[in-house]
Structure 1
Amino acid sequence: MSFQNNARRTTGEKALKTILFFQMGIGALANVTLFFRNVSPVWHGHKQRPPHTILTHMAVANLLDFVSAGIPYMKAAFVLRKPLSSLGCKFVYYIHRVARNTTMCSTCILSTYRFLTLIPGRMVWTMLRGQAPKVIHPSCCICWMFSIFLNTYVPVNITDAQQVGNSTDTQGKWFCSSLDPSANMVILWVAVDAMFIGLMVWSSGSMVLLLHRHHQRVRYIHTPNSSHRHHLETRAAHTVLLLVATFVSFYVLNSIVTFYVAAFLDFHLWLIQTSSILALCFPAFSPFLLILHNPGPPRSCS
């Protein structure tokens, strides 16, 4: 009976590892495609539109997330006798945290920007069209700097790979371990995540209300220009709403698994793999969502 349980667990761990590697490969390819689609106007001598600037930064952060998350698994899968050193663990986990926070911040900026562009009023619209290209790029750079400084304390808590869990986990000992962070750092991280997610939910909910009210006002108006513009704005808003809903869903699921591992000190390999899969779902799926909802090449603005 014990042999059967071990065999089932080993099979499940291999299946999760296969899913994880497939997710990393497809997700990295999708983010490379998203990056080149959104920087193409620059190569043709045009300026990027604000949404494409945000998506460029998001694609870079997602790629860094895949690279940092993939290194420990590559070492565990192919270099079993050489786990990551203490310095390697600190570097990889730091990059992972920076990329994760930058992705969250960029998604928040995108949802907030899309909500502001939907606000009715000629004066507000004109101001946003003129100022947004000047503000969006610095805002994305601030996201990177904020993430870099926010996670400066992370390497202190990360140590080299240690034997965790029980002896039946054949690869669990090759993953980095961490010390318990201080209460102040936990409160800071939770507060930052709550702030970004709160802004996403607020902007998404506001977009839903604006689109509903706008639909009620213009449903009897059939002028071609207004109909076409409303269709483009609605489609872009729906894309951002799906993006935010996807991020929040996977974030909550990953947080539940991470909390369980930390609270009950359960370091089984399948739990570590499940947590990693959930953490990488948004970076893997979001490029497909953005590309499929905007299949054409991004239009540049002069």
Structure 2
Amino acid sequence: MRVLVCDPVSTRCLEVLKDAGLEVSYQPKISAEDLIKQIPEYDAVIVRSRTKITSSVIEAGKKLRVIGRAGAGLDNIDTKAALARNIIVVNTPESSTQAVAELTIGLMLSLARKIPLGDRGIKEGRWLKSEMMGIELKGKTLGIIGLGRIGRRVGAIAKAFGMKILVYDKRKLPEKLIKLLSAEVVDIDTLLSKSDFVTLHVPLTPETRHMISRERLAKMKKGAYLINTSRGEVVDEEALYEALKEGWLAGAALDVFKQEPPTSEVVKLPNVICTPHIGAQTVEAQEAAGERVAEKVIKALGLR
């Protein structure tokens, strides 16, 4: 059986696939056009976030049995089309939990202490100490929207900083978990109005697209900060631009965007910190994602 790997993965991923007797074609820069042409020859395909497995790709994949996503989000895979063809879709949400949580905290600290401004100033020959009065995380309220694996880990780290934790999740949350985080479960409007920092940890679905809308941004506490390491379209970028430009929000940190690379004006604002979708971009997370997606693909193909 043959596996096509369309995005950069760890060496360990390729080793595990080959050790199972699979023929592996590693093409981490494959174009959408070449993918359509080649997919009919493969039993499985593995992607990260770059490659889109559309309904057209799935239709062309006559032998396709498994789609593997090395990472968490499935918004680059047409899961409905896969289900219609009885194609198994596997992913590795557990692999990037620590990496994304640490980036979220890092972005929060960068906003609180204006770290990028200080770095940029010194490199430009400017000593901006007087412009860099920051705030401490201790005693501040963190609102976590989405208490899955990443949201929970962010909450645990934030608690260690001495932050008060507010949580919103559409699911019923275990009381033991809430007690462990010393958190308070509230509705989304209460969370927005009381939080000094709001961090987003939800998948992109029709329900969560523009979850942070113009109306909800207006409900946020004046002078608050927004951090998004989930998916770009969870936030209305135009509305966020206005809220930041007008000074309603003190700042935002964005690792994800509606379009990547981004074209939105929001990235040009001085009170916005941007990173190029690096939430899972650590050696440890990529090693784990690669090995686990390989193991899940092998199992789905019936080889273990």
TM range (shorter): under 0.3
Greater strand proportion? 2
Greater RCO structure (CA 8 Å; 6+ sep):
1
Greater helix proportion? 1
Given the two structures, how large is their TM-score scaled by the length of structure 1? 0.23
